[in-house]
Structure 1
Amino acid sequence: MNLIDRLKRFLAQSTPSGNPEDAVNRSELEQEAKGPPNGIERRQSDRRCARDGTRALIIDDSATVTAALARMLLQNRYQLDTAADAETGLAKIAANPPEIIFLDIVLPGMNGFEALRRIRRDEATRAIPVIMMSGNEQATEQFYAQRIGADDFMKKPFSRFEVFARVEKLLDAEAVPRRPGAAA
């Protein structure tokens, strides 16, 4: 249950004093609002964001995952494109290369590993940072993804905090996503 739903539920409850704040367990709500495990309130920590208009491509066959990730990126002023399979995603990359790619591993037809191999083999696309995603809990997927050239890996479901923390690690001095060690 997210923070808003929990607040609505608590505020809707009748309380002996008539004051809805009495029904709210503040420590529980504060703990839920925290993003990083180190206990720093996520809104109080400095976060570097990609520059407005950063071009991103989401390649995922799940409409739910695509919609959630798209909402996060659009709220942060990304230009966004999506593809439900690797073949369509690769065609979109060739037509209009994005600055960052979010790539699912399990896709219909060609899987994300093969799509990543093709991205890395092509001179025109090998420098694009790729964050791979999977709902599988196997650490072997993460290891294999990074071994064949993924820049990061996110396990589904992921939080807004996790998405932007991973993007932030890939930003250069001009707030453009870059592969580590890639020339600007």
Structure 2
Amino acid sequence: MAILDFFKRLFAGGGSASRPPPQRRSGARLNARGGMRVLVVDDSTTVVSLLGRMLRQNGYVVLEAFDAEKGIEVAMSERPDLVFLDIVLPGMSGFAALRQLRRQPLTREIPIIMMSGNEQATEQFYAQRIGADDFMKKPFSRAEVFMRIENLLDVSLLPRRHMHTPAPVAPTTESSAVP
């Protein structure tokens, strides 16, 4: 009987009414401007649906693609403010799509958050090395999604690339030679 009472108190919140609920965040969330357009590229309908619902509930316009080729096409035509891009996709990989998006003048400045369910830390390093702005492991929480977005916001509350400073170009021996 004592065990049953313990579980009743545990699930009914007995004895915790005097304590305030735990804070989920130490500070207020900085939300992106309403109407921000986000492209979600993932071959999992579950991930696209879940992430899309989270974003829509916060006033974002969600664009969807289930493979890299369609993701590139949507990014070129719709010019989203932010892209969530899975690494493992059918056909073209997320890495190849990231490279193509960074090479195109229309899409090179769009912030891209790469996603993967793989536990390999090398994917995170490689994604950032070839131009991703952030990396998120799956499964992810609502708090993590919005923290990743918040980290990319500028003063106008739109995501901006912070890592796009080009590497200095070393002079070639031909151009540095004195005639």
SS at match of 1:80: strand
- The question of 1:136 aligning with 2:118 is answered yes
Corresponding residue for residue 11 of structure 2? 24
Give deviations 1:92-121, integer Å, cap 9, x for gaps: 111111000000000001000000000101
- After TM superposition, give the deviation of residue 43 of structure 1 in Å: 5.4
**Is 2:40–2:85's contact at 8 Å kept on the other side of the alignment?**
yes
Aligned equivalents of 2:34, 2:135: Cα separation in 1 = 23
Question: Which of residues 46, 49, 58 in structure 1 aligns to 2:28?
Answer: 46
Give the fraction of aligned pairs with identical amino acids, expressed as a percent: 55
Q: SS state of the match for residue 177, structure 1?
A: coil
Query: TM-score, with normalisation over the residues of structure 2?
Result: 0.80
Structure 1 equivalent of residue 87 of structure 2: 105
Provide the rounded CA distance (Å) in 2 between the counterparts of 1:17 and 1:87: 56
Q: Is the 8 A contact 2:131 2:164 kept in 1?
A: no
Q: Which residue of 2 aligns with 1:85?
A: 67
Say yes or no: does 1:161 pair with 2:143.
yes
Q: What are structure 2's unaligned runs of at least 5 residues? A: 166-179
**RMSD of aligned Cα (Å):** 2.8
The alpha carbon displacement at 1:24 in A equals 2.5
Matched, 1:148 2:130: yes
Give the structure 2 partner of residue 96 of structure 1: 78
Letter in 2 for 1:91: E
Deviation at 1:23, TM superposition (A): 3.5
Name 2:170's counterpart in structure 1: none
Gaps of 5+ in 1: 1-13, 36-40
The C-alpha deviation readout for 1:117-158, integer Å capped at 9, x for no partner, is 001011111000000000000000000000000000000000
Tell me the TM-score normalised to structure 1 length: 0.78
In structure 2, C-alpha distance between the alignment counterparts of 1:181 and 1:60, rounded to whole Å? 24
